[in-house]
Amino acid sequence: MIDFAGLSQRAFGDIDASPHKGFIDESPSGGFLVQSELLGDSSIHETLLDPETLDEQSKISQDEYLQLQLRIYRLAFVLAAIFVVLAAFLFGQNTSISILVGALSGILYLRLLARGIGKLGSSQKIVGKIQLIIPVILVLVVSKLPELQLLPALLGFLLYKPSLVIQFLLEPKVQ
């Protein structure tokens, strides 16, 4: 005769069949709320619905967002300065001025976009499209001024994108 109870005890050890064991570790984000509902813990719900706690969390999030914006702007200015100086040595003054005008308009575009995203949820439901006028104005200005060149200005405009990628790569990963 085979002793299935003894065999399973030796093969699998002590198994806790509690439905809540390890629930937080295996669940996606938000699993904590599900677990608190299963356990009947209402103090968490009260904390999440407390207006003072929400205001503090909102202020912390806004501060973090502002710090992120400042880091991206600084990095964009540094990249713009590097490229303007490099273009001045390699291609000449007109090209470097075109890159500078494009980079400044790209940073202005990024600022308007960030402002629209910052208002998202509090006073707006969608991101405004006012920032889309910046590239149009850039092309119009460059086409009217003969000392500016279109391609370097457009490349300068796109210099804000590497700053976003670099900032994303430097950001510590949250587990």
For the chain of 175 residues, list the mean pLDDT of each consecutive stretch of 10. Answer: 50 49 46 47 52 69 88 96 96 96 96 87 81 95 95 96 93 74
Q: 91 is in which domain, residue-wise?
A: 49-170
Q: Residue 130: name the closest of 117, 147, 112 by CA.
A: 112
Distance CA 72, CA 60 (A): 18
Is residue 19 domain-resident?
A: no
Report the residue count for the chain: 175
Residue 121 three-state SS: coil
pLDDT score at 77? 97
Is residue 88 domain-resident?
A: yes
Q: Residues with Cβ < 8 Å from 19, sequence gap 6 or more? A: 38
The pair of three-digit structure tokens given for residue 89, joined into one six-digit string: 């040595």
Is residue 8 domain-resident?
A: no
Is residue 109 domain-resident?
A: yes
Is residue 103 domain-resident?
A: yes
Distance CA 106, CA 108 (A): 5
**How many separate domains does the chain show?**
1
pLDDT per residue as tens digits for the range 106-134: 999 999 998 888 888 777 788 888 899 99
Is residue 34 domain-resident?
A: no
Residue 149 three-state SS: coil
Q: Is the pTM of this model over 0.75?
A: no
The pair of three-digit structure tokens given for residue 71, joined into one six-digit string: 């880091």
pLDDT score at 35? 47
